[in-house]
């Protein structure tokens, strides 16, 4: 059985890992990062895959080519507004985040997997999926 101090240490480690993934997720919503392929690449895993809200499958190469021109990338345009972001540590170095976003009135539910291969690579988004939320009928 783990002692109280060991449990607290493990919890802090889990909390730190989830916090690091959340920080990365928020960075990828920043127009300065989105508009720079070099900055975005620092947060995306070399094996990155995304299933966008449109259903399109994106690879790292695809997303880096398109990201600077996508919605949410311009300082003066609409920006992503994340809501209720939560995370859970699935295994050491693997965090699952879920949340919702609003961008220019459009809502989406989002899920991301963040992984850290080693201390040098840092946390990077490995997988992302967005599902559009239809407008509520009034």
On average, the pLDDT of the chain sits at 89
Q: Which fold has domain 4-133?
A: Nuclear Transport Factor 2; Chain: A, (3.10.450)
Q: Cα–Cα distance between 34 and 40 in angstroms, integer?
A: 6
Contacts of 137 (CB under 8 A, 6+ apart): none
40 or 6, which is more confident? 40
| Digit-coded pLDDT (tens) for 105-129 | 889 999 999 999 988 889 999 999 9
What is the average pLDDT across 1-20?
A: 65
**Is pLDDT of 22 > 60?**
yes
Residue ranges of domains in the chain: 4-133
pLDDT of residue 137: 53
48 or 12, which is more confident? 48
pLDDT of residue 135: 80
| Digit-coded pLDDT (tens) for 26-63 | 999 999 999 999 999 999 999 999 999 889 999 999 99
Query: Where do we find the tokens 């899920």?
Result: 111
110 or 5, which is more confident? 110
Please state whether 114 falls in left (phi above 0), alpha (psi between -120 and 50) or beta: beta
Q: Quick check: 95 and 17 in contact, CB under 8 A?
A: yes
What percent of the chain stands above pLDDT 90? Answer: 69
């Amino acid at each position: 059985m783990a002692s109280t101090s060991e449990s607290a240490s493990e919890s802090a480690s889990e909390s730190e890992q989830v916090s690091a993934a959340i920080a990365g997720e928020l960075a990828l919503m920043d127009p300065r990062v989105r508009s720079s392929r070099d900055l975005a690449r620092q947060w995306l895993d070399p094996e990155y895959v995304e299933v966008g809200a449109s259903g399109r499958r994106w690879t790292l190469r695809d997303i880096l080519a398109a990201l600077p021109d996508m919605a949410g990338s311009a300082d003066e345009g609409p920006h992503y507004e994340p809501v209720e972001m939560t995370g859970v540590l699935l295994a050491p170095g693997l965090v699952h985040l879920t949340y919702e976003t609003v961008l220019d009135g459009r809502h989406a539910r989002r899920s991301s997997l963040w992984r850290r291969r080693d201390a040098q690579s840092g946390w990077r988004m490995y997988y992302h999926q967005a599902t559009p939320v239809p407008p509520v009928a009034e």
